[in-house]
Amino acid sequence: MKLYSYFRSSAAFRVRIALNLKGVSYETVPVHLLKSGGEQFGEAYVRTNPLSLIPALDDGGQVLIQSLAIIEYLEERYPEPPLLPDDPVSRAYVRAIALSIACDIHPLNNLRVLRYLVREVGLSDEKKDAWYRHWIELGLGQLDRIVSSSRRSGRYALADQVTLADVTIVPQIFNARRFACDLAKTPTLAAIADRCMELDAFARAQPSAQPDAE
Ligand SMILES: N[C@@H](CCC(=O)N[C@@H](CS)C(=O)NCC(=O)O)C(=O)O
């Protein structure tokens, strides 16, 4: 299995965690998002993923894209340990957390959006960083309320079971810390992320542990 990855990509980070949790070995194919104008736009990678986004997973020539679709694929192919609970309501809770991060929070802060704000809209770096922090702090703060007030949460987002929710929370908290966001309204998610990082599967997936880390 080959994972097209960039060490700082939080979407790739999600897939790396899922692969590690399921004990699936893979080879990293680094795609540098900044070098040479961004290798994600190069012809070689566009043939793999026409969306020009990281990650993509090549499983024996079958290329999969979109981190959550890839993780659901892994869940179906390698059911143990499960990343989705059995109970339908808990599944919906876990998916709601993952989708809030992957669909509502992360896309607003993606590299291409930030670049457009600076290059086309003319925002200063300072204003661009303010945009970044605004959406992260708002989104994670709201999500923290959902998780902290849920009777389902515990050591992790869902009791003591590591799920898809944690797989998405950890990279987003990593990003928030990297960009010095104020996490005062996000104590529950930050604590869950710290507990997850005690697990080998999460620690091995972190940016600094990647072969392309700078
Ligand atoms: N919804 C996609 C998002 C993928 C994505 O945004 N990847 C970022 C890195 S985290 C990327 O490749 N950005 C390149 C760019 O913005 O040009 C997924 O979950 O896989």
Once rounded to an integer, what is the mean pLDDT over residues 145-159?
Answer: 97
Residues with CB under 6 A from ligand 1: 9-11, 33, 38, 40, 53-55, 66-68, 102, 110-112
Question: 208: closest CA among 183, 182, 178, 188?
Answer: 178
Average pLDDT of the chain, as a whole number: 97
Q: In the structure, what pLDDT confidence band is assigned to residue 178 with cuts at 50, 70 and 90?
A: very high
Q: In the structure, what pLDDT confidence band is assigned to residue 35 with cuts at 50, 70 and 90?
A: very high
Once rounded to an integer, what is the mean pLDDT over residues 64-88?
Answer: 98
The rounded distance, in Å, linking the Cα atoms of 96 and 205 is: 23
The rounded distance, in Å, linking the Cα atoms of 167 and 11 is: 10
Once rounded to an integer, what is the mean pLDDT over residues 141-168?
Answer: 97
pLDDT tens for 78-135 read 999 999 999 999 999 999 999 999 999 999 999 999 999 999 999 999 999 999 999 9
pLDDT tens for 46-58 read 999 999 999 999 9
What pLDDT is stored for residue 62 in this prediction?
97
What pLDDT is stored for residue 175 in this prediction?
96
Ligand 1 atom nearest to 9, measured from its CA: 10
Q: Residues of the chain with pLDDT > 90: what percent?
A: 100
Q: Which of 54, 71, 118, 136 to mutate to test the pocket of ligand 1 (most atoms within 8 A of CB)?
A: 54
Task: For ligand 1, atom 2, name the residue with the nearest CA.
Answer: 66
What pLDDT is stored for residue 71 in this prediction?
98
DSSP H helices, 78-186, are 88-99, 111-119, 125-148, 164-178
The rounded distance, in Å, linking the Cα atoms of 208 and 214 is: 8
What pLDDT is stored for residue 90 in this prediction?
97
What pLDDT is stored for residue 101 in this prediction?
98
Q: In the structure, what pLDDT confidence band is assigned to residue 23 with cuts at 50, 70 and 90?
A: very high
In order of 116, 117, 132, 143, the CA distances from 108 in angstroms are: 11, 11, 8, 16
